[in-house]
A = this chain, B = another copy of it.
Amino acid sequence: MKHTTETALKADLFRELPRDCVVSLIEKGSVKTIGRGASIHLQGEPAHSLYVILDGWVKLYRISPCGSEVVISVLNRAKTFGEAAAVSGERFPTSAEAVTETNLLQIDAQDLCHAVEGSAVMCRAVLSAALHRNHALVKHLAQIKSHTGAQRIAHFLLGLCPSDTEACTVVLPYDKVLIAGWLGLKPESLSRAFRKLTPHGVKIVKDRAVIESVERLLDFAEEDPTTSWSPKYA
């Protein structure tokens, strides 16, 4: 249990809070191990809990009226989800599902509510988490609206690169079906879009991406789609 607490303390939601104010909350939670593909909660359900990911990957998604799945967010270790809905007594805006075998810490909404009521810093922490989520959504939305599939992949890969390298090889963190969903593409389109990156110095080998030049990739990622078809740098 010690280990659980240590991991949970590093969660984005908790890391800036005084330790003692958080530990009691964490220790009220229960740890769950769930298998790949298992559902954690459903969109529209009352938000009975907040979750902290101790290990593994979780996707948040919505099912549209016509039945297709839309990936809203993909989270891993030390990320939390459900906290905003939990404190407000609302319903989950998305469904959540494990995409790998996953260890979760589940904390009761009421416990969180009490903690928030008892402590202004805790309230601020939840607020700050919501703001960051918001910001991430806004950025993602902007990407989807203004970049082509290949450019979105480029951004995705750049996000996986260590910041100070010029050439690097990154491991794709989850399977390509999920990457496609996250980037708003079908798997077939993803596969083709990967190949459009070849002339920009990216090779995909199984679950690895070999990037020749981060700078070159960034140029491509932020290039105006309008200008791309007439490069004539000859």
Name which of A124-132, A189-197, A198-206 contacts chain B: A124-132
Interface residues on A, range: 35 or more
What are the residues of chain B within 8 A of A126 when measuring CB–CB?
127
Q: Does A165 contact B (CB under 8 A)?
A: no
Q: Are A70 and B141 in contact (CB under 8 A)?
A: yes
State the Cβ distance, A153 to closest chain B Cβ, in Å: 16
Contact mask A113-143 → B, CB, 8 Å, 1/0?
Answer: 0000100100110111011011101111110
State the Cβ distance, A230 to closest chain B Cβ, in Å: 15
> In the complex, what distance in Å separates the CA atom of A223 from the CA atom of B65?
8
Q: Are A144 and B142 in contact (CB under 8 A)?
A: no
Least CB separation from A123: chain B residue: B123
Q: Are B144 and A145 in contact (CB under 8 A)?
A: yes
- Oligomer copy total: 2
Q: Does A184 contact B (CB under 8 A)?
A: yes
Q: Does A225 contact B (CB under 8 A)?
A: yes
> In the complex, what distance in Å separates the CA atom of A124 from the CA atom of B87?
9
- Neighbour of A62 across the interface among B117, B123, B142, B147, CB < 8 A: B142
What are the residues of chain B within 8 A of A163 when measuring CB–CB?
none
Secondary structure call for the A interface: helix
What are the residues of chain B within 8 A of A68 when measuring CB–CB?
146, 224
Q: State whether A70 and B130 are in contact (beta carbons under 8 Å apart), knowing that A64-B147, A120-B117 are contacts in the complex.
A: no
What are the residues of chain B within 8 A of A140 when measuring CB–CB?
141
Q: Are B133 and A134 in contact (CB under 8 A)?
A: yes
Q: Are A94 and B138 in contact (CB under 8 A)?
A: yes
Q: Are B130 and A84 in contact (CB under 8 A)?
A: yes
> In the complex, what distance in Å separates the CA atom of A120 from the CA atom of B146?
39
- Neighbour of A65 across the interface among B138, B144, B222, CB < 8 A: B222
Q: Lowest 3 CB-CB distances: which A-B pairs, in order?
A: A66-B224, A65-B222, A130-B130
**Could you list which residues of chain A lie within 8 angstroms of chain B, going by C-beta atoms?**
62, 64-68, 70, 72, 84-85, 87-88, 90, 93-94, 117, 120, 123-124, 126-128, 130-131, 133-135, 137-142, 144-147, 184, 222-225
